[in-house]
Amino acid sequence: MEYNKKYKNLFTKYCEIVKRYLINYNKYLNNKYWLMWSFDQYVAKSGLKGLKGLLGFVQWSEKHKMDKSWIGGCLGHDINGIENKYLSPRSSGYFKYYKK
């Protein structure tokens, strides 16, 4: 699947944070189909604002030198929850911290 320019930059950033912080997902990290599927599912559930909230969460966490395992735990919670209709992403309130 090819993403248009609007999504390509966000998809690239998504892949970077997943590979950086979700080390327990080793079997998925080099699987471009899983990365595209999880990205598509996350955007379908949370919208672009939700995705930018996820990226903003990482940017905020890095700026405040939060522990890598804590960041990974929050990302894992949010990404694992993409198929759970009752789960609210922890990162949803971080949209305001997103920087291109």
Position 4 scores a pLDDT of: 61
Are 39 and 11 in contact, with CB atoms under 8 Å apart? yes
In 3D space, the residue among 57, 52, 65 whose CA is nearest the CA of residue 6 turns out to be 52
* pLDDT of 33 strictly over 70: yes
Residue 11: which of 22, 41, 73 has the closest Cα? 41
Question: Domain segments of the chain: what residues?
Answer: 5-97
Q: What is the pLDDT of residues 36-59, one digit of tens each?
A: 898 999 888 888 888 999 999 999
Model pLDDT, residue 13: 93
